[in-house]
Structure 1
Amino acid sequence: MPESAPGTLGALSRKLASMSGNKVVLGACPLDCPDTCSWIVTVEDGRATKMRGNPDQPYTRGALCVKVNRYLEHTRADDRLLYPLRRTGPKGSGRFERITWDEALDEISTRLRRTVDEHGGEAVWPYNGTGSLGYLQGCEGVAGRRFWNVLGASKHWLNICSAAGSTGLHRANGTAGGMDPENFALAKLVLLWGTNTLTSGHHLWKFIQDAKAAGAHVVAIDPIRTRTADQADEHLAIRPGTDAVLALGLLNVVLAEGAQDEEYLAAHTSGWEDFRAEIMSYPVERVAEITGIPADAVHRLGTRLARTRPTAIRATMGLQRHAGGGAALRTLAAIPGVTGDWRHPGGGLAYSTSDHVKLNIDTRDDLLPAPARLRTMTRMASELPSVKCLFVYGANPLSSTSDTSRIRQQLQREDLFTVVMEQFPTDTADYADIVLPATMQTEHMDLHAGYGHLYLLWNEPATAPAGECLSTTETFRRLAAHMGMTEPSLFASDLELAEELLSSGHPSLEGVTLDRLRKEGWVRMNYPKPFAPFAEGFPTPSGRMRFPRSGEAYVPPYTAGKDGLTLITPAAHTFLNSTFGNNPELLRRAKNPVVLVSAADAAARGLTDGRRVRVHNASGEFLADVEISDRVAPGVVASPKGRWPKLSPGGGNVNAVVAERDADMGRGALYHDNIVELSPVEA
């Protein structure tokens, strides 16, 4: 095969492999990013010495991000957890003693059995997060779920990231899966809607650049003028939570232009007449008043949308983290239904490609001794009072979950037995009774699928685990043995689990074998290229897109009409959620926490550039330095997420002021829908 053939160990890889004493291992990034990069690790004498993006993989194209470029350094960090630990000081003190794995597993087994006997399985909460998106070791697949089912523990609903938007898209299209992001290269109009591509999934930008080179117009729609907005042809500073209104206003202009695709509407949609009436109730002037975008800008973009095929919309998870997040995604998905863009390669909406991944994920719910209680991730503060045993893995809720002040209060309870499986001493780990050391991605096997592309990727371990670290799958195998469980599926090897995942029989996996993945590192699933998923209909019972009914297209944000400042908590360029929040170099680059404030809002509060303030509301507070900026409009402030509270001034982070409230669909979190005030910190 030629050196550049997709799926082969390409020229660069072979050159590295031929160097004396070197071994090259193909792997994949596990982190919560749509790009799920393919990487190449060079190993010399058992030590990983170099990591780079795989140049042969069509989406990665040889590049990793500023965060993952430091991954090997991170695996060797001085604060890496290497051995099981038992708490010796007060909860939250971070004082532990080293113990053996047998001691740790014995204590965990005893406490789990006692909890189930005395309080029932619902008093046990396995709290799994997005620290890894692996189908073996991470939240996407089977890691630990069969064990918890045998025990009869509560079920964990991982709704923290994308639930509102996914639910809205399912109501519209029957699936959250949309267009292939690679097809953005074919678009003539690109709407980057509530997404900072260059920070949170920068590999898509190369396809957008291809579109721009062919004459496409790129518009960033975002409350913040991000680094992506700086590179777009146009930026519309929308008022947070009003995205559905802008969508309706743009469609109002489309109808005025007579540019709706009547053939597509008749053949592939339902509820059009009702939705058309809803669109007509949002003229441009009303839309401008609600969204804060000038009427002429709304009209100009609506006209461009009416006259430009194909139009591609990229909307990611930040867009739906407000009270009307589900309705917003449902209404955005209606745009290509009205214009007919769903029929064109390069047209439509891309939110998440996860629903196009058709692996066989069998968590064995038949192993449950009785129906299990469902516990909601974003309701941790409210759920914890009835929990007696908390087992946290792949998560750092004291940094990443809403209402962290109340969570911290609950974690201090002496009657709450807490186990944390971790790689580093996070704020959450400081409250554990037992800490279990976890492997990192270069030390275990895993199977991945990006939620921003259509590739499966295999991660082969490059090195032996550091210290006494164990993978998630091995930890649960050992814990099951310690508890005397005999269900055979609890002891399946990683390779057996991977074979099972690939055994769904779905046509998209035809020819995709474990042997092939391990040899080639990545394989594109069997979808056409270019891929227009809804050109001939939708996976709904009727086969048609379902437009919102009257009153369903827009749910106002919680902040609407309230006094104060609306806080946006975007992704940081240097952290990925709270991963890398302890990396010294990335912390240095991030500098002190800042809050972006418009000049008008700063002047009204007597604040000067660099002044330290309390950002506060009834839920809590955190400290940040004022950065007066025209990147936010009056009434809006922004402070990036991802900080570890114990490494931040005052010991807080942005989620201390995020209230525990639900979006309109999927009980999604409201990270961008909170009112705060700023008060100077006296020296």
Structure 2
Amino acid sequence: MTEFMLKYFRTKQKEVQSEKTYDTQCPFCSMQCKMQLIEQTIVTRKKYSAVGKDNPTTKGRLCMKGMNAHQHAFHSERITHPLLKKNGEFVRVSWEEALQYIREQVTSIQTKDGHDALGVYGSASITNEEAYLLGKFARVALQTKHIDYNGRLCMSAAATAANQTFGMDRGLTNALSEVPHARVIMLAGTNIAECQPTIMPYVEEAKENGAYIIVIDPRETATAQIADLHMKIKPGTDAALANGMLKIIIEERLTDEAFIKQRAEGFEGVKRYVTSLSLEDISEQTGVPIEQMRKAAVKFAREETGMLFTARGVEQQTDGTAAVRNLLNILISVGKIGKFGCGYGAITGQGNGQGAREHGQKADQLPGYRSIENQKDRAYIANIWGIAEENLPQKGVSAFEMMKKVHEGEITGMFLMCSNPAVSNPNANFVKAALKKLKFFAAVDLFISETARLADVILPASSYLEDEGTMTNVEGRVTLREASKPCLGEARHDWQIICDIAAALGKGRFFSYESAEDIFNELRKASRGGIADYSGITYERIRKEGGILWPCPEHRHPGTKRLFETEFSHPDKKAKMCVVPNEPTVKKDEPTEDYPLCLTTGRVMSHYLTGVQTRRSAALRARHFESFMEIHPKTAEKYKIEDRVLVKIESKRGSIIVRSKWSESIRPDTVFVPMHWGDSQNVNCLVAEDLDPSCQMPGFKVCSVRIRRADDKDVNKLS
């Protein structure tokens, strides 16, 4: 090393006046990658970098979002003190004034409109402790039945299908460590390479071990590029494709007869139905050649081990529950469940999508994945909470149905926790109009999002670096997010904010916690004996073991790595197969003469959900700073749309303007727009409000649209 270089490095070392490290985990997808943020003070400037930490799920891996997550946490637009809207503008107020305002508004609404006139809209990005507490807050402090959360738009179809089929829902029935040992892997409507990149090494290792990879997707995604077989399905026809594969498996006598006889119900009805169908009709309906269906069905059935994974591409449909159930019919028919290297995984989208629905944020659930309509469950939780069972509200409605009730005047006040329904909900213009009708609207968030800007009061939340608590990742593994960085300004943790509001409403005795761990210990008691039993999990154990897979019913229990080895969770211990018709019961928003193209939505690697956090990361925003419409070149030529020009997309509900992006990876009858932008680029303004009758999931993946090149008049409206 030269004298000059030595001098340079000595100078640099002197410039680094201090270095601190913060243990945490990524705030984004359900992999919940463990990491460490390194803070260096160089003269008067702070420099940050993130490195992955070894853990059972991600082995120290990080994707670009995790490496740059800190950029939003330190962004200048962070809300650091309470804001109250006065004369149409947000002004800074004290916590005392904000809480007093909330108390007055809540009391007025409860007196004039009743307790159920208040709604609570939660999040799958908050911790288990905060999800648990929010459910308790709605039902004890507000005494309202109206609580639901944004996970309804993400995991509800898969969760409902798993509950109906297996009797319980945990994202993955097996630990991810088994994936490399599967001989065949079917990825239906999941683009893990971009949405959960740190899962990909498991699939890549399986492929190196000789696994056959099947991808079902209308687009040739980064995930589809590693597939041995890519079935480029017409959006919304997944249930029909599964029927075609089932027909082939049954007629080729590839079913596992012993497994079906011992461990399943309903097979004969499924057999009668699918054998009556025509493969030619299914091929025409789905756009998938019969030869591809046959290859996928035979390969999946004949291999000794195999796993099925689904995500939003299958689930965000008005028949999403039925489509997932039909894919599970395939899994059961060939006996690939409850065994090593065999199982099902619903790839959870949000960071705590699994845990957030297990402990009371859903309209129909109580902690431990208990049912709010079950008398025994109600009595148990009422006792934990110290209230009379008759004072525990009944079942409410789903997230989007709450917005309908706002429009109808049944809900007149709302609490919003770390969510952005003005962008994420279908028919987003309808949702905005509903929120403007509220007499009172309070939001808890890091930023003034598209939804928070409509609020009367905004309370500043803490970021992932500041807010300690447990999260349940894609495997069903309960992890502990350490958070030692002090809150910025006057920001408070979500759980503290909930407790503060409860105290202002005179319910403080039910919310007297000193730490997140205090709340978790109550959650453990509340979950004991439930489907999602966390009672044997402690902070101490998680720190020692790196995370524990539930159910874990007592302290010595190691956690459950594989579900359904000997029995399913229905009373008779059997899995339930069911007939799924090719045509859904709720008509989809399919192409018509006036709206001839099918729009489908999804994610890009550099952004997360509605982009409120990732669009405030300079590194991530630079990769995708605006939305776009992916379109096949032949389709683009037909509509006289050049590459990289502004395009107007219209549905029956509204219009948006985005930039065209030619791509041969998409079907010619389909266009794709990502979901991470709001306002004039909010793709959900176009989506119909029809819901899956089983789980109330909107049909984000099928929307009929028409397109044209934007003119000057369209562009002027944006400025």
Query: TM-score under structure 2 normalisation?
Result: 0.84
User: Per-residue deviation at 1:26?
Assistant: 3.2
Match of 1:401 among 425, 428, 441: 425
Amino acid at match of 1:28: Q
Change (3 A) 1:381 1:605: farther
Give the equivalent residue in structure 2 for 1:388: 412
Distance in 2 between the 1:185 and 1:42 partners?
A: 33
The structural deviation recorded for 1:347 is: 1.5
- Name the aligned partner's letter for residue 477 of structure 1: C
Distance 1:182 1:282 in 2: 38
Task: Tell me if the contact between 2:184 and 2:211 (Cα under 8 Å) persists in the aligned partners.
Answer: yes
1:535 corresponds to which of 549, 565, 572: 565
List per-residue Cα deviations over 1:194-214 (Å, max 9, x = no partner): 000111222221111121111
Is the 1:136–1:497 contact (alpha carbons within 8 Å) kept by the matching residues of 2? yes
Aligned to 1:420: 443
**1:607: which partner in 2?**
641
- Pairing 1:99-498 to 2, within 5 Å after superposition: 99-130=93-124, 132-137=125-130, 139=131, 141-143=132-134, 145-146=136-137, 148-158=139-149, 159-177=152-170, 178-351=173-346, 354=354, 361=368, 364=385, 366=387, 369=391, 371=393, 374-385=396-407, 386=409, 387-413=411-437, 416-450=439-473, 452-491=474-513, 493-498=515-520
Partner in structure 1 of residue 375 of structure 2 = none
Residue 341 of structure 1 aligns to a residue whose secondary structure is coil
TM-aligned CA deviation for residue 190 of structure 1: 0.9
What's the counterpart of residue 8 of structure 1? Answer: none
Partners of 2:246 and 2:207 lie apart in 1 by 24
Residue 83 of structure 1, aligned match among 69, 81, 84: 81
Decide which moves more: 174-183 or 217-226: 174-183
**Range that drifts further, 603-612 or 355-364:** 355-364
Q: Which residue is equivalent to 1:575?
A: 607
Measure, in 2, the Cα distance between the counterparts of 1:383 and 1:196.
34
**Which of 18, 32, 36 is the aligned partner of 1:36?**
32
Corresponding letter in the other structure for 1:77: H
Q: Which amino acid aligns with 1:658?
A: V
Kindly indicate whether the alpha-carbon contact (under 8 Å) linking 1:569 and 1:640 is maintained by their aligned counterparts in 2: yes
- Give the letter aligned to residue 88 of structure 1: K
1:496-515 to structure 2, matched below 5 A, reads: 496-503=518-525, 504-505=527-528, 512-515=537-540
Q: How far is the alpha carbon of 1:658 from its aligned partner? A: 1.1
Supply the distance in 1 between the matched residues of 2:271 and 2:162 (Cα, whole angstroms): 19
Taking only the aligned residue pairs, the percentage that are identical comes to 22
Which residue, out of 630, 635, 643, partners 1:596? 630
**1:486–1:609 Cα change, 3 Å:** closer
Report deviation, 1:682: 0.8
Task: Spell out, residue by residue over 1:54-93, the C-alpha distance to the aligned partner (whole angstroms, 9 max, x if none).
Answer: 4420212112222221121211101111111122353xxx
- Cα distance, 1:601 vs structure 2: 2.5
- Shift of the 523–530 alpha-carbon distance from structure 1 to 2, 3 Å rule, reads closer
One-letter amino acid of the counterpart of residue 172, structure 1: T
Aligned CA-pair RMSD:
2.9
Q: What residue in structure 2 maps to residue 621 of structure 1?
A: 655
Partner Cα separation in structure 1 for residue 278 and residue 59 of structure 2: 43
Matches of 2:558 and 2:215, distance apart in 1: 29
Cα offset, 1:102, TM superposition: 0.7
User: AA paired with 1:538?
Assistant: F
Structure 1 range deviating more: 167-176 or 519-528: 519-528
Give the secondary-structure state (helix, strand or coil) at the position aligned to 1:185. helix
What secondary structure does 1:179 align onto? coil
Change (3 A) 1:369 1:51: farther
> What is the alpha-carbon distance in structure 2 between the residues aligned to residue 313 and residue 478 of structure 1?
44
Cα offset for 1:532?
4.4
**Matched-pair contact (CA < 8 Å) for 2:50–2:67:** yes
Matched-pair contact (CA < 8 Å) for 2:128–2:469: yes
Greater CA drift, 456-465 or 558-567: 558-567
Correspondence for 2:63: 65
Query: Counterparts of 1:340 and 1:420 in 2: how far apart (Å)?
Result: 47
Shift of 1:282: 3.3
Distance in structure 2 (CA, Å) of the matches to 1:365 and 1:625: 56
The gaps in structure 1 that reach 5 residues or longer are 1-18, 646-650
Distance between the aligned counterparts of 1:65 and 1:550, measured in 2? Answer: 38
C-alpha contact (below 8 Å) 2:499/2:508 kept by paired residues: no
Q: 1:522 aligns to what? A: 547
The reply to whether residue 663 of structure 1 matches residue 692 of structure 2 is yes
> Would the aligned equivalents of 2:239 and 2:582 in 1 still touch at CA under 8 Å?
no
2:109 counterpart letter in structure 1: T
CA offsets 1:412-457 (integer angstroms, 9 cap, x no match):
34x622111110121112111111111001112111111x214221
Matched position secondary structure for 1:126: strand
- Larger mean CA deviation between 533-542 and 286-295 belongs to 533-542
Quote the residue 1:4 is aligned against: none
Q: Hey, what's the Cα distance between the residues in 2 that align with 1:552 and 1:293? A: 14
Q: 1:40 to 1:420 in 2, by over 3 A?
A: same
**TM-score, normalised to structure 1's length?**
0.88
Which moves more between the two structures, 531-540 or 484-493? 484-493
Distance in 2 between residues matched to 1:552 and 1:116, nearest whole Å: 47
Given the superposition, is the C-alpha separation of residues 78 and 39 from structure 1 closer, same or farther in structure 2, using an over 3 Å criterion? same
Letter in 1 for 2:66: V
Per the alignment, do residues 211 and 561 of structure 1 end up closer, same or farther by CA in structure 2, a change over 3 Å counting?
Answer: same
In structure 1, how many angstroms separate the alpha carbons of the residues matched to 2:357 and 2:702? 31
Q: Kindly tell me: are residues 317 and 616 of structure 1, through their superposed partners in 2, closer, same or farther at Cα, counting changes over 3 Å?
A: same
8 Å CA contact 1:41–1:51 kept in 2: the answer is yes
SS at match of 2:602: coil
Q: Residue 144 of structure 1: CA displacement?
A: 5.8
| Partner Cα distance (1:519, 1:528) in 2 | 12
Describe the shift of the 1:81–1:253 C-alpha distance in structure 2 as closer, same or farther (beyond 3 A).
same
Does the 8 A contact of 2:307 with 2:343 survive in 1? Answer: yes
Tell me the CA shift for residue 514 of structure 1. 2.0
Letter of the aligned partner of 2:434 in structure 1? Q
In 2 relative to 1, CA 551–218 (structure 1 residues): closer, same or farther, beyond 3 Å?
A: closer
Q: Give the aligned residue type for 2:245.
A: L
| CA apart distance, 1:491 | 4.2
Query: 1:590 Cα deviation (Å)?
Result: 0.6
